Amino acid sequence: MFCFQCEQTARGTGCTGKQGVCGKSAEVAGLEDQLTGAMIALSQGIVAGAAATAASDRAVMRGLFTCITNVDFDPASVQAAIDHVHAVKTAIAPFDTTPDFDMDALWNEGDEDVRSLKSLVLFGIRGTAAYAYHAAALGRSSRKVFDFFYKALAAIGSDTAADDLLVLVDEAGAVNLDCMAMLDEANTGTYGTPVPTIVPLTVEDGPFIVVTGHDLKDLEELLDQTDGTGVNVYTHGEMLPAHAYPELKRHPQLKGNFGTAWQNQQREFDNLPAPILWTTNCLMPPRKSYADRVWTTGVVDFPGCAHIDDTKGGAKDFSGVIDQAKRLGGYAEAQEFTGINGGHEVTCGFGHGSVLGVADKVIDAVKSGEIRHIFLVGGCDGAKPGRNYYTDFVKATPANSLVLTLACGKFRFNDLDLGTVVGLPRILDMGQCNDAYSAIQVAVALAKAFDCSVNELPLSIVLSWYEQKAVCVLLTLLHLGIKSIKLGPSLPAFVSPGVLDVLVKSYDIAPAGTVEDDLAGCLA
C-alpha cells in the first residue's frame, strides 16, 4: 500500500506495508486506489462529452468522501462503491472502454512537483466532497461543484503540466469556498442561525447515545426518533457545534457534550455504557471493550460493526441504536466530566451570524485598541506530539485579543476560561471545520469596514491540519490570497520542496515554530 494523505502518515513520508498508522489495511488502501482510478475513468468520459447524471454526481461525491482518512475501513463497502462507479459509467457511456486509472502511476510519478500538485488537488476535492455530501443531505447541490470533481479527477489521470495543475489548485480552493457557502446556507437555512450556547460536559444518569461526526441531518433524525423515549443524546468531537442551532437545541434530550477530539476516542469510549453513532470521519478502529456499541452510517463503515443504511431514501432508522441505549441504561449517577484543562462546560455558537451581529462593537474596539489583535486558531486535532503548541499559543495570547476557533483542534483549549474582552468571551467557537466559511465572512467584513485587505487586518491565522478537509480549507484560504498562515504541527508529506517554495513565495506560508516566536511575529 501507499498512502500519504494525512498528517500522521508513517515517518512523515507515507504509509506502506500491511497497515497505515490510522489502522487502514493494505487491502482497503488498494481498494480506495481502485475506487479513485474508476472515478478518474468515469470523469474522463464525462469531460470528453458523456453526460453526467444524478447517479454519477452522487457516486463521485460519495466515492471521494469514502477515501477520507478514518471513514471507511470495510473492504466490502469500498468494493461496492467501485462496482457502483463501474455501473454508472456503463449506464452513461456504454461504449467507453477507457480502463480505470492505475493510481500507482500517480504515486510513482517521476516529477515530484506534478505528483505533489495532483495529490493536493485530489486530497482537496476529497474534503470538498464531504462538505457537498452534508449539503446534499439537506437538499442542496451545486452543478459547479460536481463539474469540478470531474474536471479535477480527469486532470489527475492525464498528462497535466505543473502550471496547469497550479491553476487547478487555485480553482479547487474557489470551488470549496462555494461548497462551504452552500453548506453554511443548508445548515443555517434548515436549523437556524447558531446562537451562543453554553454546553455542559456532565453526563446525566440514564440511557444515552453519543453522536459524533459532522452530519446535522443524521443528528436531527436521531433527535426526532429519541423525542419522548427517555434516551438522552450527547455530542462528541465535531458534533459539538450542533448545540447552537435553534432547531436542534429545541430537543430537551440534547443534553451536552461528551469527550473531546477524535484521537481520544479509544480511551473515552472504553467501557462506555452507551452506543456511539459515527455520522462521518474520524472513526478509529474500535477496541473490543466497546466495538459492540459502535454504529456507523452514511459512508462510514467498519467491518463487524453495526451500520445504518442510508441508501433506501427517507429518514434513517435509528431504532437499533436507541434500543441498545435503553438496554445499556447509561450511568446510574450523573458523571461530571471535564475538558482537557479541567473546565466543566464549553461555549459554542459564534458563527458569522453571532459575530457579525456584534460587528460594530468589534470594529469600534479594534479602532480604539481595546481589541489589539484577532487570532484564528483552528483546524484539526491529532495524536502526534507537538499539538500542545495550540494550547500554549492560545494561553499566551494577550488579554486584549480575541481567539476565533473552529473544528476539533479547539478541544485542546475550549474549556479554558480566558475571560472576556468588550463583553465577548475571548474564545469564540465558530463551529465545525466547514465553518471556516464563518471565519472568512468575519475577516472579509472587517476588511471592508477598515477599507483594507484581509492581510492588512490585525488578524493572524494559525492552522492545525490532520486530514483532507483541512486541505480544502487551506486551499480556499490561499485562493482568497490570505498570507502568512502558520501551518502545523508538521507540513504535509505530499507537498514537494518545489511546491512548498511556491507556497512560501506566493503566500508567505510558514510552518508553526515556537509559540513565543510565532506570537511575537503575529503581534509585530
Minimum Å gap between C-beta 379 and ligand FSO is: 6
C-alpha 202: how far from its chain's center? 26
Q: Nearest CA to 229 among 263, 249, 254, 248?
A: 254
Q: In the set 56, 69, 260, 432, which binds ligand SF4 (CB under 6 A)? A: 69
Alpha-carbon span 72 to 63, nearest angstrom? 10
310 binds ligand FSO (CB under 6 A): no
21 binds ligand SF4 (CB under 6 A): yes
400 binds ligand SF4 (CB under 6 A): no
433 binds ligand FSO (CB under 6 A): yes
Alpha-carbon span 227 to 221, nearest angstrom? 10
Minimum Å gap between C-beta 467 and ligand FSO is: 5
Minimum Å gap between C-beta 67 and ligand SF4 is: 9
3 binds ligand SF4 (CB under 6 A): yes
Residue 402 has φ and ψ, to the nearest 5°, of: -105, 145
Looking up cell 505543473, which residue turns up? 162
Q: Which of these ranges, 19-27, 124-132, 355-363, 512-520, lies near ligand SF4 under the rule CB under 6 A?
A: 19-27
Q: In the set 57, 268, 435, 467, which binds ligand FSO (CB under 6 A)? A: 467
Q: Which of these ranges, 245-253, 268-276, 350-358, 463-471, lies near ligand FSO under the rule CB under 6 A?
A: 463-471
Alpha-carbon span 269 to 266, nearest angstrom? 6
Alpha-carbon span 131 to 182, nearest angstrom? 9
2 binds ligand FSO (CB under 6 A): no
Alpha-carbon span 110 to 113, nearest angstrom? 9
Which residue of the chain is nearest ligand FSO when measured via CB? 380
Q: Which of these ranges, 5-13, 148-156, 252-260, 274-282, lies near ligand SF4 under the rule CB under 6 A?
A: 5-13
Specify the residue, 68 or 377, whose C-beta has the smaller distance to ligand SF4. Answer: 68
CA contacts within 13 A on the Cβ side of 228: 2
> Contact 201/344 with Cβ under 8 angstroms?
yes
Which parts of 222-261 interact with ligand FSO (CB under 6 A)?
A: 237-238
Specify the residue, 125 or 254, whose C-beta has the smaller distance to ligand SF4. Answer: 125
Binding partner at 408 among ligand FSO, ligand SF4, none, C-beta below 5 to 8 Å by kind: ligand FSO
Q: Compose the 367-396 pattern: x for residues touching ligand FSO by CB under 6 A, - for all others.
A: ------------xx----------------
Q: Which of these ranges, 183-191, 465-473, 486-494, 512-520, lies near ligand FSO under the rule CB under 6 A?
A: 465-473
Rg (CA), the chain: 22
Number of residues that bind ligand SF4 (CB under 6 A): 12
> Contact 237/406 with Cβ under 8 angstroms?
no
Specify the residue, 191 or 466, whose C-beta has the smaller distance to ligand FSO. Answer: 466
Q: Which of these ranges, 2-10, 160-168, 281-289, 471-479, lies near ligand SF4 under the rule CB under 6 A?
A: 2-10
Alpha-carbon span 130 to 238, nearest angstrom? 13
Q: In what helix (H) or strand (E) does residue 169 lie, and over which residues does it extend? A: helix 162-191
Which residue of the chain is nearest ligand SF4 when measured via CB? 20
Which parts of 289-308 interact with ligand SF4 (CB under 6 A)?
A: none
Q: What is the DSSP letter of 341?
A: T
Minimum Å gap between C-beta 307 and ligand FSO is: 20
126 binds ligand FSO (CB under 6 A): no
> Contact 479/439 with Cβ under 8 angstroms?
no
CA dihedral 375, 376, 380, 382 (to 10 degrees): 0
15 binds ligand SF4 (CB under 6 A): yes
CA contacts within 13 A on the Cβ side of 317: 9
Q: Nearest CA to 127 among 188, 69, 52, 171?
A: 69
Binding partner at 4 among ligand FSO, ligand SF4, none, C-beta below 5 to 8 Å by kind: ligand SF4
Identify whether 489 is preceded by a cis peptide bond (ω within 30 of 0).
yes
Specify the residue, 157 or 173, whose C-beta has the smaller distance to ligand FSO. Answer: 173
> Contact 299/62 with Cβ under 8 angstroms?
yes
211 binds ligand FSO (CB under 6 A): no
281 binds ligand SF4 (CB under 6 A): no
466 binds ligand FSO (CB under 6 A): yes
Residue 303 has φ and ψ, to the nearest 5°, of: -60, 130
Alpha-carbon span 224 to 301, nearest angstrom? 23
Specify the residue, 244 or 433, whose C-beta has the smaller distance to ligand FSO. Answer: 433
407 binds ligand FSO (CB under 6 A): yes
Beta bridge partners of 421: 424
Tally helices (H) and strands (E) across the chain: 19, 18
Residue 370 has φ and ψ, to the nearest 5°, of: -60, -35
Minimum Å gap between C-beta 357 and ligand FSO is: 25
Residues in contact with ligand FSO by CB under 6 A are 214, 237-238, 262, 281-282, 379-380, 407-408, 432-433, 466-467, 469-470
